[in-house]
Chains A and B, each alone.
Chain A
Amino acid sequence: MESATVAMGGHAHEEHHGPPEAHQSSRIDRQTLGIFLFIVSEIMLFGAFFASYFFLRVVVDPPTWPPEPFELPVAIAGVNTAILVSSSFTIHYALESIRRNNRTGLKLGLVLTWLLGATFLFIQINEYVNIGFSARDLGFGSIFYGLTGLHGAHVFIGLLLLSFATIRAFRGHFGPEEKDHLGVEVPGIYWHFVDVMWIIVYTAVYIL
């Protein structure tokens, strides 16, 4: 492995017009490691809001949760959860397709994921409009909007990344080689994170 790289970089006599190829010192590639670390910091950002949730609910300890007149649409949000979770499968399908060089599958998977994600956001905004309380209503309202809103923002970013991948897919980019579809894989990892995070948010906010 080492000697191979040295041999590769060994054209010492040729003119250099760019930097030498960096030695790849780990099996994981940069983009994937990068997105994993980014997700770590995202988890901690959610962690800050969950810490606040803990204080507002457990430490302040209001008599009821949600406080008296307010109610949460658990069922509708449950359906929404199902929608978001299924988008994890479609993005996985897209990735598997391009691995097998099935371009139609890739496009189909990406478009479906995008639509599911957008539906999720649409339903959530509807929920905000009809829910009957605002972020100003007690610590409860603040943390409800804080957690779901933070998550919504992440869905939005995820959708943005997915649109890049979709546009590129339709323009004929990506290929079955591992390094040729990082542009799908990396947003995909992020999307899975957004999904898993929703399950946690949903459990904490709506169910517990």
Chain B
Amino acid sequence: MVAAIKQPGWIRGALGALLAAAFGVGLVVILRDISGLPIWQTEQTGYPHVVVPLITAPLGFLAGFGCFDYWLRWAAGMPTIPEDHSQHGAKSWKDYFRFNTDHKVIGIQYVVTTFCFFFIGGLMAMMIRAELAQPGAQIVEASTFNGLFSTHAVLMIFVFVIPVFAGLANYVLPLMIGAPDMAFPRLNALSFWMLPLAGLMFIGSFLAPGGAFDAGWTGYAPLSTGAPLGQSFFNLGVQFAGASSIATALNFLVTIITMRAPGMTFWRMPLLVWANLSTSLLVVAATPFIAGAQFMVLFDRVLGTQFFQFAGGGDVISYQHIFWFYSHPAVYIMMLPGFGIISEVISTHARKPIFGYRLMALALIGIVVLSYTVWAHHMFVAGMSSWLRVPMMFTTLLIAVPTGIKIFSWLGTLYFGKIHTYSTAMLFALAFIVTFTIGGISGVMLGMVPIDIHVSDTYFIVAHIHFVLFGGSVFTIFAGVYHWFPKMTGRMYDEKLGRVHFWGTLLGTWGTFIPMHWVGMDGMPRRVSDYAVQFGDWNLLISCFAFILGACQLVFLYNMIVSWRFGPRAGGNPWRANSIEWQVSSPPPIFNFDEIPRVVGGPYEYGVPGAKHAIMSGEGAEVSQPQPTTVGSS
């Protein structure tokens, strides 16, 4: 027992959480006592004796779990023990439940954890659809309903889509650029472990008095500043998810900039690496804005500040400006890594170099820059200064241009290729092009102020959201998971089940989300638990398709679990791909490489006679004629 308490791990973690929580409560009691305030404050928004422990307890857990051990020893100037790599790599499944610094272990931890949250968020979506299947109240009350869709969206966005991309990239990106690990392995592990804490906080809000946070995922003030305690869980969960995502982004940037293999120039990086480079730029510079916004809401709630209280000289609309200055870039944080995945999958399975590689990379950077200039398109009807609308409309619509470049270049990649569609990954990639185009086009319509004035805050928006987020981001996630499943697990998944999942998901997505456009334009607002009778039939249809969609995800779950355990062994390179991660065994050796590979050409040189992307250890002897990074006209 004593040994267990000294060892970093779950027991010490739990103890740390308890101690830190007690410390937090104590701090509140003492401070309030000194300032002569009543010790317990339980007005619906206050609860400092819950809010403060919500900050300290997770930190206590992380400390107990071992996230800070090495750093503390370093900080105290103690003799740093020579690296024994005991925290690196996984020898049994138990190692996935430890503080582990191996980027491959962390990658799998990320993907599995985030998919858990996907299924929980998806279950909430099922409850939403059950409630909406008929007009009138079905299974939940109106306020519970508001909590459901808020938590649904928050789980999907903050602890599924954003981090699952970080997880996939965590696994493959260091391999792709020929790095033995990420630049800061311990920070990487810490980033991961903050994530389940954030997710639990979001879900835990259902237990708070007054119920889960129910001001939508956007948490607009002053609804959020006056909401019951659950809202504070959201304010704080976002801080942990945000810190996690900033730390990972920083880690990616440093890794990409300083740890590329010799010969891996920027113009030889696979597009997935480019995509994560641009995403990380967005995260590092935008995520602090949501941290700031949620801190201010929290202060308004707990400390009684006036940031968004009009009666106290605050400014209501400033919340939306600060929030969307993050959250618009956030939608590209949720899309750009997916673009990277699609580039890898399409080029591999069409056996062709990416069409217009450099323009593809530049388009990513273009989207990054433009995305900081469009936030107010979410506020066309918010009552903000009206002169802002037209300039923001122009910038918003211009984003279609770099995005279009990407779509057309993927299509161009298919031409004169050898398109293999036996892989579910490729099916999802092709379907992504279609669904995302639809979602993007509805986005362009939203960008036009007169149209948006009519459809803003209706089901048309819900349709747009899910076409870009489900038909866009989630399709790319599925493509990525299927594509790298053999690499991560060393086994093949079942293509037949993959096809069932694919066709079911495609049908489900279209069936669920296309009619939403119609009911939205026709007058059904979003975020309602009840609606006019005239929309009843459409909603019933939507709900039926949503259940099909949900059921298909169970096929995916089954396929992944069973194939991971029993699937046939996959070779190192089942797709005959060029990039470096496929040149090592599946799963890769603990330290990735015996020797850092040497990059001698572009990553997509399919069909170029004698071309080679990288020379791995062992084959180093033969001399390589330097390959020009062939881009431009053919």
Contact = CB atoms under 8 A, between A and B. Distances in A.
Direct touch of chains A and B (CB < 8 A): yes
Interface stretch (A23-31, A102-110, A115-123): A23-31
Contacts of B261: 23, 25
Q: Describe B's contact surface by its main secondary structure.
A: loop
B258 A33 contact: yes
Interface stretch (B145-153, B399-407, B470-478, B588-596): B588-596
Contacts of B595: 9-10, 12, 20
Interface in A1-36: 2, 5-6, 9-10, 12, 16-26, 28-30, 33-34
Interface in A151-185: 164, 167-168, 170-171, 173
B79 to A, nearest CB: 9
Nearest to A56: B315
A89 interface: no
A74 interface: no
A41 B77 contact: no
Interface residues of A, number: 57
A44 B263 contact: no
Q: Which residue, of B288, B303, B617, has the highest number of chain A Cβ atoms within 10 A?
A: B288
A12 B618 CA distance: 8
A75 to B, nearest CB: 26
B533 interface: no
Contacts, number: 187
Contacts of B286: 44
Nearest to A48: B292
Contact of B325 (A22, A51, A60, A140): A51
B51 interface: no
B178 interface: yes
Contacts of A55: 315, 317-318, 321
B257 interface: yes
Nearest to A136: B304
Q: Which residue, of B179, B291, B296, B318, has the highest number of chain A Cβ atoms within 10 A?
A: B318
B267 interface: no
Interface residues of B, number: 60
Contacts of B257: 25-26, 28, 33
Interface string A110-139: 000000000000000000000000011111
Contacts of A17: 85
B157 interface: no
Given A19-B591, A25-B258, A34-B250, A52 B181 contact: no
B383 to A, nearest CB: 12
A20 B299 contact: no
A48 B290 CA distance: 8
Given A20-B594, A40-B285, A135 B262 contact: no
Nearest to B292: A48
A142 B289 contact: no
Interface of B: 74-77, 83, 85, 178-181, 183-184, 246, 250, 253-254, 257-264, 284-289, 291-293, 296, 299-300, 303-307, 312-315, 317-318, 321-322, 325, 591-596, 598, 617-618, 620
14 contacts: A6-B262, A6-B620, A12-B595, A19-B85, A20-B594, A28-B257, A29-B258, A41-B250, A44-B289, A48-B325, A51-B318, A55-B317, A142-B299, A143-B307
4 shortest A-B CB distances, which residue pairs?
Answer: A48-B292, A55-B318, A19-B180, A171-B77
Given A9-B595, A44-B287, 11 more contacts: A16-B591, A25-B258, A37-B250, A41-B246, A45-B292, A51-B318, A60-B315, A135-B303, A142-B299, A146-B307, A164-B74
Interface of A: 2, 5-6, 9-10, 12, 16-26, 28-30, 33-34, 37-38, 40-42, 44-45, 47-49, 51-52, 55-56, 59-60, 62, 67, 135-143, 145-146, 164, 167-168, 170-171, 173
